[in-house]
């Protein structure tokens, strides 16, 4: 009896040691390359700091925040970030869900269509951006050529060069590249729905439309929650797409907060201002995360019971 | 309408919609490949054609020879393979205890930290990361990119692998343990060999993420000899003129490795990605 307990204690202890050792490398990476930079952003936001000139320093109070908020581009950047984020996520959700429903139907060639749908997500953002830029080019682009030939428009549209079109265009390209992720997630969730639910609904006389709304959609709630919230954050902070396609132009029509952060830091070398803006964005994304986390808790309590 | 004919109409509609979807997703690739094979005068035709009058490999030759794309491909390969290997080792260890010792406080804390870290993307940490890399003397080296890519794929890789471990019965390990093998020994010689399909899918995820990444590659390296392929593509976009034929050829070259790997391993890849995404 006694010896067994001693054995148990040493067993838990060695188990503990093994766990800590196994987690150590991950902790090391996360602490050095996410934790430490995170702390620096928060402290630099309240300091005078310059990327190149090390002599600049000292406590700045709220100066950086005042500077960032009173920047004439701040308001438009906030608005653009919202348009970019909400527009992208709504479009991705709708197309992603529609594609998943289609790909869930048993037809010949299903495998081909699934692979074809997933492909945009594999493409580097630079390639996606540049290829669409080429397709939408006002002088030699195929899309404008088709539009003018068919008589839909009189003269080619400068999709990325016209400030009225630029934001809609980058949102469109982002949707094209990102919706497959939603599709794959929805497909996986749909395949987990027991067939009996559909059979029961059919027996009750529910048509395809009704079955979709009362059987499929409720079962997709949890996966929808995860992808929508993750993509709200990922889209809001995305730098690559807009930088590759418009660099925030034309005439600041597509400037978003991440582009402003880049401009402050690597073009004006104003680390303080860049950190203050990053801090503001961190606060906003944390709020989104907290809402998500609470919803998810509630949802898993509901489903588990 | 009879049931049979109604079913037939709905099948036809499904196919039409599926075809439209495929055109939407695949057309840019088709156009990319076609443009890459067109000579300069056809690229700049006022009315672009769906046929190529005189197909040529000039664009590819120019990109590979004149623009040093072989160097960029090598750089991308080195960085992506290293990041892939490193993140696999780290998340194989972390994922294992995530699966087996989930109740431990240290594991739950790490799980939460990884979940949160997935929500703190690179651009917000860009400045301090840049300064850290500069202080470590890693700017303009493979090191900066390998470290950054590894870190940012660790959370999802760990979630994916931990759910793969979940599906392996613990009795397997207990048997090895009774035979006197250590934990690490059991892990490497008994558990990991069973995990190969999951390891392939996580490795792919890490490789593709690193291969496709743009921002860090763009900002952490400025020497031409160390540039990776995605920032190199951006170089084609000059201030006034763009070499669209070359740009499209370069894009084909950047997409090709990923597309080939994916076609061979798509089954593993998609299922692995899903188990991680839903869990995380």
ipTM: 0.88
Cα distance between residue B228 and residue B174, in whole Å: 46
Residues B214-256: pLDDT tens digits?
A: 999 999 998 888 999 999 998 887 767 788 899 999 999 999 8
3-class DSSP state of B92: helix
Which pLDDT score, from 0 to 100, does residue B270 have?
67
Which pLDDT score, from 0 to 100, does residue A98 have?
94
pTM for this one? 0.88
Contact A278 B125 (CB under 8 A): yes
Contact B28 A16 (CB under 8 A): no
- The residue of B12, B16, B18 whose CB has the most chain A CBs within 10 angstroms, and thus the best one to mutate to test that interface, is B18
Q: Is the pLDDT of residue B143 over 90?
A: yes
Instruction: Report the largest interatomic distance among the alpha carbons of chain B, rounded to a whole angstrom.
Output: 76
Contact A239 B215 (CB under 8 A): yes
Q: Is the pLDDT of residue A281 over 60?
A: yes
Contact B247 A233 (CB under 8 A): no
pLDDT over 90, % of chain A: 45
- From residue A149, how far is each of A139, A146, A235, B46, B199 by CA, in Å? 13, 5, 35, 11, 51
Which whole number is the average pLDDT over A119-127? 90
Cα distance between residue B273 and residue B263, in whole Å: 15
Average pLDDT over chain B reads 87
Those of residues 226-245 in B touching chain A at CB distance below 8 A are 229-231, 233-234, 236-237, 244
- The residue of B119, B206, B220 whose CB has the most chain A CBs within 10 angstroms, and thus the best one to mutate to test that interface, is B119
- From residue A208, how far is each of A285, B10, B87 by CA, in Å? 38, 11, 45
Residues B50-73: pLDDT tens digits?
A: 888 888 898 899 889 888 889 999
3-class DSSP state of B130: helix
Which pLDDT score, from 0 to 100, does residue B48 have?
83
Q: Is the pLDDT of residue A305 over 50?
A: no
Which pLDDT score, from 0 to 100, does residue B275 have?
61
Instruction: Give the model's confidence band at B277: pLDDT under 50 very low, under 70 low, under 90 confident, else very high.
Output: low
A269: left (phi over 0), alpha (psi -120 to 50) or beta: left
Place of tokens 């692995």: B272
Which pLDDT score, from 0 to 100, does residue B1 have?
57
Take residue B211 and report the two structure tokens written for it: 């291969």
Which pLDDT score, from 0 to 100, does residue A3 have?
47
Given A122, A124, A289, which is nearest B230 (Cβ)? Answer: A124
Average pLDDT over chain A reads 88
Contact A25 B94 (CB under 8 A): yes
Cβ neighbours of residue A138 closer than 8 Å, sequence gap 6 or more: A144, A156, A157, A158, A159, A161
Instruction: Give the model's confidence band at A149: pLDDT under 50 very low, under 70 low, under 90 confident, else very high.
Output: confident
Which pLDDT score, from 0 to 100, does residue B16 have?
94
Cα distance between residue A107 and residue B43, in whole Å: 38
Contact A37 B132 (CB under 8 A): yes
Take residue A95 and report the two structure tokens written for it: 């197309």
Residues B198-217: pLDDT tens digits?
A: 898 889 889 989 999 999 99
How close, in Å, is residue B189 to chain A by CA atoms? 16
Cα distance between residue A220 and residue B166, in whole Å: 23
3-class DSSP state of B237: strand
Q: Is the pLDDT of residue A151 over 60?
A: yes
Which whole number is the average pLDDT over B121-149? 91
Contacts of residue A185 in chain B, CB cutoff 8 Å?
A: 274, 277-278
Cα distance between residue A143 and residue A157, in whole Å: 9
> What spatial distance separates the first Cα and last Cα of chain A, rounded to whole Å?
39
3-class DSSP state of B67: coil
């Amino acid at each position: 009896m006694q010896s067994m307990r001693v054995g148990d204690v040493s067993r838990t202890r060695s188990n503990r040691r093994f766990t800590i050792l196994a987690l150590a490398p991950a902790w090391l990476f996360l602490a050095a390359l996410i934790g430490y930079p995170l702390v620096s952003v928060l402290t630099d936001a309240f300091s005078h700091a310059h990327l190149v000139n090390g002599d600049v320093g000292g406590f700045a109070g709220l100066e950086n925040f005042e500077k960032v908020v009173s920047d004439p581009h701040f308001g438009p950047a906030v608005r653009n970030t919202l348009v970019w984020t909400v527009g992208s996520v709504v479009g991705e959700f709708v197309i992603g869900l529609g594609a998943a429903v289609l790909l869930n139907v048993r037809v010949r060639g299903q495998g081909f269509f699934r692979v074809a749908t997933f492909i945009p997500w594999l493409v580097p953002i630079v390639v996606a951006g540049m290829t669409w830029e080429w397709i939408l080019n006002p002088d030699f682009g195929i899309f404008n050529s088709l539009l003018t030939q068919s008589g839909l428009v009189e003269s080619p549209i400068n999709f990325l060069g016209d400030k009225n079109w630029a934001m809609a265009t980058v949102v469109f390209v982002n949707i094209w590249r990102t919706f497959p992720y939603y599709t794959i997630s929805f497909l996986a969730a749909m395949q987990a729905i027991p067939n009996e639910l559909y059979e029961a609904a059919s027996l009750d006389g529910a048509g395809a439309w009704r079955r979709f709304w009362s059987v499929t959609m409720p079962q997709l709630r949890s996966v929808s929650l995860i992808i929508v919230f993750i993509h709200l954050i990922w889209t809001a902070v995305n730098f690559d797409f807009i930088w590759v396609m418009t660099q925030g132009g034309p005439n600041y029509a597509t400037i978003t907060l991440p582009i402003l952060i880049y401009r402050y830091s690597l073009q004006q070398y104003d680390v303080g201002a860049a950190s203050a803006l990053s801090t503001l964005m961190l606060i906003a994304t944390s709020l989104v995360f907290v809402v998500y986390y609470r919803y998810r808790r509630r949802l898993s309590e509901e489903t588990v019971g | 309408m009879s049931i049979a004919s109604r079913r037939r109409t709905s099948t036809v509609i499904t196919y039409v919609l599926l075809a439209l979807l495929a055109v939407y997703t695949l057309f840019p690739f088709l156009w990319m490949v076609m443009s890459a094979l067109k000579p300069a005068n056809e690229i700049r035709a006022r009315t672009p054609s769906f046929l190529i009058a005189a197909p040529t490999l000039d664009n590819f030759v120019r990109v590979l020879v004149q623009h040093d794309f072989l160097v960029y491909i090598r750089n991308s390969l080195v960085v992506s393979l290293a990041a892939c290997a490193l993140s696999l080792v780290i998340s194989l260890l972390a994922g294992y205890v995530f699966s087996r010792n989930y109740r431990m406080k240290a594991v739950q804390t790490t799980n939460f930290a990884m979940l949160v870290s997935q929500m703190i993307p690179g651009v917000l940490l860009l400045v301090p990361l840049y300064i850290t890399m500069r202080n470590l003397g890693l700017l303009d080296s493979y090191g900066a990119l390998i470290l950054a890519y590894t870190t940012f794929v660790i959370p999802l890789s760990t979630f994916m692998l931990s759910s793969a471990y979940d599906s392996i019965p613990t009795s397997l390990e207990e048997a090895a343990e009774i035979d006197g093998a250590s934990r690490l020994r059991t892990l490497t010689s008994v558990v990991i060999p069973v995990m190969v399909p999951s390891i392939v899918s996580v490795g792919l995820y890490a490789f593709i993420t690193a291969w496709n990444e743009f921002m860090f590659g763009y900002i952490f390296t400025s020497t031409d000899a160390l540039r990776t392929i995605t920032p190199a593509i951006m170089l084609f976009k000059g201030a006034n003129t763009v070499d669209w034929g070359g740009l499209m050829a370069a894009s084909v070259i950047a997409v090709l490795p990923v597309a080939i790997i994916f076609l061979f391993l798509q089954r593993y890849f998609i299922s692995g990605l899903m188990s991680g995404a839903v869990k995380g």
